[in-house]
Structure 1
Amino acid sequence: MKVKRQKRVAKILKYFHLNFGFRRPFNLVVDGTFCAGCLEAKVKIKEQMPKYIGECKLVTTGCCITEIESLGSPQLYGATLILKSMALFRCDHKESIGASACIKSLVKNGNPHHFIVSSQDQSLREDLRNIPGIPLLYLHGNAPTLEKPSDLTESLTEKISDGKTNLSQHQHNILQELKKQKFGEEVKPIRKKRKGPRGPNPLSCKKSSKSKPSESLPTNQNSGKKKRRKKKKTAQE
């Protein structure tokens, strides 16, 4: 694989990791069309997918297997064997439905299992581009190709980063869970005691019961003494 191609794939996977919580090992859900395309292009899925995107798990559903078996084409016999060799993910459909409808049901409500959808079905990929957060993988010639994020996915992440989107409760819970996985539990800051001058003691501000002595005005020292009248000397004396 060329270095430029490796950087492109790593950039796309990092985008989905940071914005939607994708992580290794990645979950690749595969349908019959992708297996048939790999068989025709001589691409060994189990060997080349880990080299292309890194550590991953290849899974399929009972509906995908039932659909390719129902076609009954001898040309799809090899693709059927490849699909059956993968791990089976329970889709909880009591009655089998089409592979595209089954995969759509797995990725609804925010793609909770973080699936990378691997399919050659163009109509399926077109429908999934209208759902944000769905990585798409297909064969271009004989080379696996991971699509860049759709326009809807990029616009949603921009709105989330700008705080301009009204998220549903389910989407809000998913984002909160992703934040916990990425950054851990939010620690509330401990409120420190305020240091510095405190206010006056209320007890010290209480009025004293004893009244202060009133200041007396200065008095004349001789005011208390009576003036003595001088006796006049008479002539007889």
Structure 2
Amino acid sequence: MKLKKQKRHRRSVAFFTTCYNFRAPFKILCDGTFIHHLLTNHITPADTAISNILGAPVKLFTTRCVIAELKSLGAACTDSLNVARDLAPARCDHEKRKSAVDCLTDVIGEKNSEHFFVASQDADLRKQLQEVPAVPLIYALRNALFLETPSPSQQQFAKSAEEERSHVSELELKMLLNMTKRSSTEDEAGDSAQADDVSTYNIIKDLKKDAARRNTDVNDRVQFKRKRAKGPNPLSCKKKKKENQKPVTKQESNENAESIRSRSKKRKRSRKQKIPTSATD
């Protein structure tokens, strides 16, 4: 799969997951044309091929009307009929057999409450389902599968839905009005209660003053602990010198220096050349 195609598919899948709450494993509703195309072009297994496009596991579905339509086509579609019978059945409440187009449109409905991806090779059916807000469409071209980008009507529906979510509904407005009325009544009651509290506070204050004059045990002032000055930070102070170390006197230092000098000096011996004695002597 090319990189541009993969990015386009990811964007469309992200659109449907965020705006219309699609969740993996995705449900793929297939018609007879799509199944027949997969078999003739050897796109097998179909679930892995579709999952590679969507980037998530999938589960394939079909309806009883689609199976009946494939059965009516005769021996040319026996293989696709056998494959369709192996797929999971989607709920189809039609007592009499309908065409695949009518059956799929009835199953999808107006809002696609079951969150189906529709896989079909019928261009007219895909155009019809593009007007439905939450229907992603899959089709095939030869050996490749494609996911259609969201139509302008689907994008416009998603924007309008977001705007409606941001605005306040009528029920929420009624709830807000009731809350404001209750808060206003509570504030009036609270003001009256606050006035009563002030009067009682003044009475208690006068009683405390009288008790202080009579030297009673009532304390009208709160006693707080005084903050004491703390010592300096030990990390910022210099380390104290140890007292055990005795100071070195000048005499001792001079004696040490003379001893070092005497050691360094070496005695130089003079070696005189010995004169060889003659044999006559």
When normalised by structure 2's length, the TM-score is 0.58
On the 8 A contact 2:53/2:147 being kept in 1, the answer is: no
- Partner residue of 1:92? 93
How many residues align structurally? 176
Give runs of ≥4 in structure 1 deviating > 6 Å.
Answer: none
1:2 Cα shift? Answer: 2.8
Is structure 2 residue 14 aligned with structure 1 residue 14?
A: yes
- Partner residue of 2:199? 204
Aligned amino acid, residue 125 of structure 1 = R
Unaligned runs of 5+ in 1: 165-190, 206-237
On the 8 A contact 2:91/2:107 being kept in 1, the answer is: no
Aligned amino acid, residue 50 of structure 2 = M
Work out which structure has the larger RCO, using CA pairs closer than 8 Å and 6 or more positions apart in sequence. Answer: 1
1:203 Cα shift? Answer: 8.0
- Partner residue of 1:120? 121
- Partner residue of 1:79? 80
Can you list the C-alpha shifts for 1:70-118, whole angstroms capped at 9, x where unaligned?
A: 111x332222122112111221111111111111011113101000000
**Which is helix-richer, 1 or 2?**
2
1:58 is paired with a residue whose SS is strand
Aligned amino acid, residue 58 of structure 1 = L
1:135-146 correspondence runs (5 A): 135-146=136-147
Q: In 1, Cα distance between the equivalents of 2:88 and 2:161?
A: 35
- Between 1:16-25 and 1:155-164, the stretch displaced more is 155-164
1:202 Cα shift? Answer: 6.9
Residue identity over aligned pairs, in percent, reads: 31
Can you list the C-alpha shifts for 1:188-211, whole angstroms capped at 9, x where unaligned?
A: xxx9xx9xx984227839xxxxxx
Aligned amino acid, residue 78 of structure 1 = D
On the 8 A contact 2:47/2:59 being kept in 1, the answer is: no
- Partner residue of 1:33? 33
- Counterpart of 1:64 (choices 63, 66, 72) is 66
On the 8 A contact 2:132/2:154 being kept in 1, the answer is: yes
Q: In 1, Cα distance between the equivalents of 2:8 and 2:131?
A: 22
CA RMSD of aligned residues (A): 2.6
Aligned amino acid, residue 200 of structure 1 = A
- Partner residue of 1:23? 23
Aligned amino acid, residue 60 of structure 2 = L
Aligned amino acid, residue 142 of structure 1 = N
When normalised by structure 1's length, the TM-score is 0.68
Larger Rg: 2
Can you list the C-alpha shifts for 1:28-66, whole angstroms capped at 9, x where unaligned?
A: 000100011112222111331222222011010100000
Q: In 2, Cα distance between the equivalents of 1:48 and 1:202?
A: 76
